[in-house]
Each structure stands twice: as C-alpha cells, then as structure tokens.
Amino acid sequence: KQRELIALVCIVYGIIITLLGTYFITELQGNYVEDFHSYLSPLVLLVSMGVFVFIKSNYLRNGKIRFVRNIISKYGYGIYLLHILVLWLLGHVGINARLINPLVGIPLTVLCCVGLSALIIYGLNKLPYGKYIFG
C-alpha cells in the first residue's frame, strides 16, 4: 500500500508543479514556455515513474484495467515503435492536445494513440514472423 501511495504522490506532485510552473513562467516571460513538460523534463520522468509503479502494483484488481495493462505490456515494444506515426496521423485529422481543451484533448489523444497502435501491432503480429519483428 505504501508503494501505491508514493506513486500517487509522485503523479500528483509532478502534475501540479508542471501546471503551476508552466503557468507562472509563461506569465513571467510573456510567451508560452514548455520546459516543464518537455520529454526530458525531470517532472515528466517523475509522473511517468509514478504511473508505471501505480499500474504495475497489485492495487489494481479491476479485470478491465488488468486486461488493458496486459495488452499494453504484451504489445508495448510495437506500440513504442509505432506511436509517433499514429500521433502524426491523428494530428492530420485534428485529434491532438489542443482538441477542444487540453484537459479533453490530451487524454483523448493518448487513448486514441495507444488504442490504434495496439490494434495495428496486433494485426501485424498475425502476419508470418510478425511477432518477431513488431514485438
């Protein structure tokens, strides 16, 4: 239970600092600053670790969540390889972080990207030798 609590604290702390830091630095400089949520930001690492530990924990006993976790785990390498292309395609049809509002756009983009990537990798794994190439 302590591990799940630490993971949740990391997630909440990372998100709050990212939101507040982005807001205040952007206000201070007068233009948008994305340093707090760039790929190499320590806060992104903190939130990612928290999410990983929380999902990996046995605390999630919901069968549907475990099913999704297992699919992502099984096809994770292929999803990783394909997700940039899927994000690019989603951006061309207007599904991105700026859809309606970032609070809606970001989760929707993540769900669409992971879902489509997993579906494509699932199909590619059905090809001969596909599982050896795409993971």
- DSSP states of 77-89: HHHHHHHHHHHHH
Which of 88, 109, 89 minimizes the C-alpha distance to 98? 109
Average pLDDT of every residue of the chain: 86
> Strand, helix or coil at 24?
helix
Q: How many CA atoms lie within 13 A of 130 on its CB side?
A: 11
Percent of the chain with pLDDT over 90: 37
Q: Give tens-digit pLDDT for 1-22.
A: 788 889 999 999 999 998 899 8
Amino acid residing at 65: I
Kindly report whether the global pTM for this prediction surpasses the value 0.85: no
Q: Give tens-digit pLDDT for 50-64.
A: 988 887 776 566 777
pLDDT recorded at residue 114: 92
Q: Which residues contact 132 (CB under 8 A, 6 or more apart)?
A: none
